[in-house]
């Protein structure tokens, strides 16, 4: 399949990169200096001057939109009706906010997560800067795949207008069902409505403990070496555990302060309790589970890049990881200036004659 990436935002670039992982031929039409080692890994980069010659042969086109306009190379461009056209933006290409300026802070607010994250007596708190855009990128890739499949069946293309705002709102599991029943979700800090489904300090940081049911609380008490807590009337059910959460924190503190977070997780998981250390980015980079599954790829600059979380085994029996299918219908690029962005393998040098273009 022939994919053309004209996007300028993280959602679009990340969404289009899902098609690289699927083995499709993804062309990124952008100035070479704008290429991202991660988001554009495996895309073939073409000079924007070649765009008119390539556009009619594309099956899937990615564009970005902000402040009422298509961005970059997509500005004023007529995308062929027969192809699948995906546009990513903070608010969408229609509606009262279509002319508004989007971005990472607006995404957290518009997606409904900002109001409910943080301490109740402090200002709302945002999460990692680009998380919403990445989630929208996954959403856009789903829409693109579904539309491509429908095009295979029906021959009909379509335009899909993905907003980060709506992508994030869809990810709320119960916020809106609670609102309809009269309960407005607010900020609760480290607490959830059940206890101890929470984060607690341990010897070298913090651990996330997942106890929802009474049976899980019994398992926690036993695994933590405090079996007497199973019979403690203060913690007899979830409502009482919530009412007596400070006392419960004190009872568990002795166990938690004896061990590092990774050790706490091992002990509690062995006892049947969901638990993990609150990891820092560096700890994630050396996480044993991810290492065992070879999730991280070595980048050519000595760093790491994430692998494809869509890990496919094919065929079933024998279980060897599947390789991307071959590219039977790559865009004809003979005579055009092309450079393959390859951040996680051998680095092909950009052609010496590559033109210096203005940033997008």
Site for other proteins in 225-264 (CB under 8 A): none
Minimum CB separation from other proteins for residue 326, in Å?
A: 10
Least spacing, CB of residue 352 vs other proteins, in Å = 28
Q: Applying CB under 8 A, which part among 223-231, 233-241, 252-260, 310-318 lies near other proteins? A: 310-318
Please measure the distance between the N-terminal and C-terminal CA atoms of the chain and give it in whole angstroms: 26
Least distance CB 289 / other proteins (angstroms)? 4
Where b means 16+ CB within 10 Å and e means fewer, 127-148 reads eeebbbbbbbbebbbebbbebb
Residue choice 75, 204, 314, 351 for contact with other proteins (CB under 8 A): 314
The smaller minimum CB distance to other proteins, of residues 204 and 351, is found at: 204
Compute the distance between CA of residue 86 and CA of residue 105 in angstroms, rounded to an integer.
Answer: 23
Rule CB under 8 A: is residue 222 a binding residue for other proteins? Answer: no
Q: Does residue number 179 form part of the binding site for other proteins (CB under 8 A)?
A: yes
Q: Dihedral sign, CA of 257, 260, 265, 266? A: negative
Based on CB atoms, which residue is closest to other proteins, 105 or 253? 105
Q: Which position among 78, 153, 334, 346 is part of the footprint of other proteins (CB under 8 A)?
A: 153
Nearer to other proteins, 14 or 46 (CB): 14
Within 33-52, the residues that bind other proteins by CB under 8 A are: 38
The Cα 321–Cα 293 span in angstroms is 11
- Which of 57, 183, 193, 237 touches other proteins by CB under 8 A? 183
Peptide bond connecting 68 to the previous residue in cis, omega within 30 degrees of 0: no
DSSP-derived 3-state class of residue 227 = helix
| 122 touches other proteins by CB under 8 A | yes
Q: Which is nearer to other proteins, 48 or 112 (CB)?
A: 112
How many angstroms separate the CA atoms of 328 and 168, rounded? 35
Please give the residues from 82 up to 101 whose contact with other proteins meets the rule CB under 8 A.
91-92, 94-97, 99-101
CB atoms inside a 10 Å sphere around CB 124: 15
Is residue 347 part of the contact set for other proteins (CB under 8 A)? no
CB contact at 8 A, 19 and 148: no
9-38 residues in contact with other proteins (CB under 8 A) are: 18, 22, 38
Scored b (16 or more CB within 10 A) or e, 178-197 reads eeeeeeeeebeeebeebbbb
Residue 212 CB, shortest distance to other proteins, in Å, is: 7
Tell me the closest approach of the beta carbon of residue 75 to other proteins, in angstroms.
17
203 contacts other proteins (rule: CB under 8 A)? no
Among 75, 146, 253, 347, binds other proteins (CB under 8 A): 146
Q: Which is nearer to other proteins, 119 or 351 (CB)?
A: 119
Q: 146 in helix, strand or coil?
A: helix
**Residue 229 and residue 235 in contact, taking contact as beta carbons nearer than 8 Å:** yes
Q: Which is nearer to other proteins, 64 or 208 (CB)?
A: 208
For 79-137, the three-class secondary structure string (H helix, E strand, C coil) is CCCCCEEEEEECCCCCCCCCCCCCCHHHHHHHCCCCCCCCCCCCCCCCCCCCHHHHHHH
Could you say which residues in the range 260-299 bind other proteins, by CB under 8 A?
Answer: 265, 269, 272-285, 287-290, 292-293, 295, 299
Among 82, 187, 263, 354, binds other proteins (CB under 8 A): 187
Nearest to 342 by CA among 35, 47, 73, 62: 35
Strands 60-66 and 84-89: parallel
| Binder among 34, 175, 230, 300 for other proteins (CB under 8 A) | 175
Q: Which residue from 306, 345, 348, 355 is in contact with other proteins, where contact means CB under 8 A? A: 306
Among 47, 69, 82, 159, binds other proteins (CB under 8 A): 159
Number of residues that bind other proteins (CB under 8 A): 138
DSSP 3-state assignment of 359?
A: coil
């Amino acid at each position: 399949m022939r994919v053309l990436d004209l996007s300028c935002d993280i959602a679009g670039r990340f969404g289009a990169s899902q098609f690289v992982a699927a083995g499709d031929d993804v062309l990124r039409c952008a100035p070479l200096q704008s290429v991202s080692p991660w988001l554009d890994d495996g895309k073939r980069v073409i000079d924007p001057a070649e765009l008119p010659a390539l556009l009619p042969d594309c099956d899937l086109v990615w564009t970005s939109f902000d402040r009422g306009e298509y961005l970059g190379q997509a500005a004023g461009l007529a995308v062929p009706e027969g192809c699948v056209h995906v546009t990513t933006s903070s608010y969408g290409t229609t509606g009262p906010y279509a002319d508004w300026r989007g971005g990472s802070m607006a995404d957290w607010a518009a997606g409904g997560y900002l109001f409910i994250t943080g301490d109740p007596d402090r200002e709302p708190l945002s999460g990692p800067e680009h998380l919403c855009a990445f989630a929208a990128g996954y959403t856009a890739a789903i829409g693109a795949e579904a539309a491509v499949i429908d095009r295979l069946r029906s021959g009909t293309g379509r335009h899909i207008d993905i907003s980060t705002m709506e992508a994030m709102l869809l990810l709320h599991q119960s916020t809106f069902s609670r609102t309809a029943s009269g309960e407005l979700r607010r900020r609760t800090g480290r607490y959830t409505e059940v206890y101890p489904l929470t984060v607690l300090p341990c010897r070298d940081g913090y651990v996330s403990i997942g106890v929802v049911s009474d049976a899980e609380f019994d398992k926690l008490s036993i695994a933590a070496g405090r079996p007497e807590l199973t019979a403690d009337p203060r913690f007899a059910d979830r409502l009482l555990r919530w009412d007596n959460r400070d006392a419960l924190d004190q009872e568990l503190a002795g166990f938690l302060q004896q061990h590092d977070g990774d050790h706490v997780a091992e002990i509690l998981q062995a006892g049947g309790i969901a638990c993990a250390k609150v990891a820092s980015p560096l700890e994630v980079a050396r996480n044993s589970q991810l290492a065992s599954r070879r999730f991280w790829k070595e980048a050519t600059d000595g760093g790491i890049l994430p692998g494809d979380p869509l890990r496919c085994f094919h065929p079933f029996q024998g279980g060897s990881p599947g390789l991307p299918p071959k590219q039977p219908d790559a865009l004809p690029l003979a005579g055009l200036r092309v450079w393959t962005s390859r951040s996680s393998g051998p680095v092909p040098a950009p052609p010496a004659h590559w033109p210096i273009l203005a940033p997008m």
